[in-house]
Amino acid sequence: MNAPLLKVTGLKKYYAIGSRFPGARPRQLRAVDDVSFSIGHGETLSLVGESGCGKSSVGRSILGLFPITDGSIELGGMRIDRLSPEAFRPVRKKLQVVFQDPFSSLNPRMKVRDIVAEPLRNFRPDLSRAQIDRKVGDVLDQVGLPRDAIGRWPHEFSGGQRQRIGIARALSAEPELIVCDEAVSALDVSVKAQIINLLQDLQRELGLALLFISHDLGIVAHMTHRVAVMYLGKIVEIGTRQEVFFQTRHPYTKALLSSVPSMKARGAGSRRIILAGDVPSPVDPPPGCRFHARCPSAMDRCKVEEPPLVSHGDGHASACHLNDTHGVPAR
Ligand code: SF4
């Protein structure tokens, strides 16, 4: 098997928050708590889960937007999580991001040319103005925007077109991996499909790897190679699209799938599974299985014993005591 492009091992990201009482020890919000996965060259891994499960913190950790608490992140075999800002600069060129909101993520005081050229100015100081203009024109072609977009302002474009501008900005750096953080969540259904098709075309053309972060399994169903499902800071199931959607192991994944009409919840039966209660606080995660208070299959031991991530072969793994009769620890 080829070496992965990105390898995340035992990633933890805790945020210090104020203590409840004067003099008490400060508390920690465990946004990401021992998460491991890898992404191959030209592969899409989707990270899915409800709001607050830690998926965006994983993306931001990889992008080096803040220091991680523990674990390691490697890109192309090189450890990138402890680099100085100087040393991280060439890495940042290879790692780009497309954010959720195409309205707030583009500077309204910059024309499209300057927005798309920003990474070129940062990472390719050797290029002349004419060379930069040529490159900006090329990436606008790649994302399906007209050449005259170059001299226009972001407010002159629709949401879908703005997201194309955001993708053009990411592409101009010639990245190896793009983190798409809820990149289509704010768009209308038909525009979502267009942007997903565009990302797939670009991936085929340029061999890009994508980390696709989404709260919606339905969105990733038709475009991802592999899926990792997160709950309260941990991966509870990971595998290929086929494994996670159609040989589903974890009760939480089954519940998420059962709410996706287009999937007919084949992995979870056709019955909609309504989860009781809300996601618990990542400041005081429950003991045992973090999902036990909402799990329709919970047993007594689930309240006290945390289930390990167990492999079912070929990279499909899930963390649930119902696995006890099958599989071996995932790592
Ligand atoms: Fe449900 Fe128990 Fe499995 Fe957790 S370990 S998902 S509570 S059955």
Return the residue whose CA atom lies nearest to atom 3 of ligand 1.
320
Which ligand 1 atom sits nearest the alpha carbon of residue 251? 6
Helix (H, G, I), strand (E, B) or coil at 301: helix
The pLDDT of residue 265: 43
Ligand 1 shell residues, CB under 6 Å: 251, 289, 291-292, 295, 297-299, 302, 307, 320-322
Mutate to test the pocket of ligand 1, among 237, 321, 324, 325 (most ligand atoms within 8 A of CB): 321
pTM assigned to the model:
0.92
pLDDT tens digits, one per residue of 49-73: 998 899 999 999 999 999 999 999 9
Distance from residue 251's CA to the centre of ligand 1 (Å): 7
Identify the bridge partners of residue 13 per DSSP, sorted by sequence position.
32
Mutate to test the pocket of ligand 1, among 248, 253, 302, 309 (most ligand atoms within 8 A of CB): 302
pLDDT tens digits, one per residue of 280-312: 889 989 999 999 999 999 999 999 999 999 999
Banded model confidence at residue 270, pLDDT cuts 50, 70, 90: low
Whole-number Å distance between alpha carbons of 101 and 272: 30
The pLDDT of residue 1: 58
Distance from residue 309's CA to the centre of ligand 1 (Å): 12
| pLDDT for 164 beyond 70 | yes
| pLDDT for 264 beyond 50 | yes
Distance from residue 324's CA to the centre of ligand 1 (Å): 11
Establish how many alpha carbons lie within 13 A of residue 177's alpha carbon, considering only the half-sphere containing its beta carbon.
25
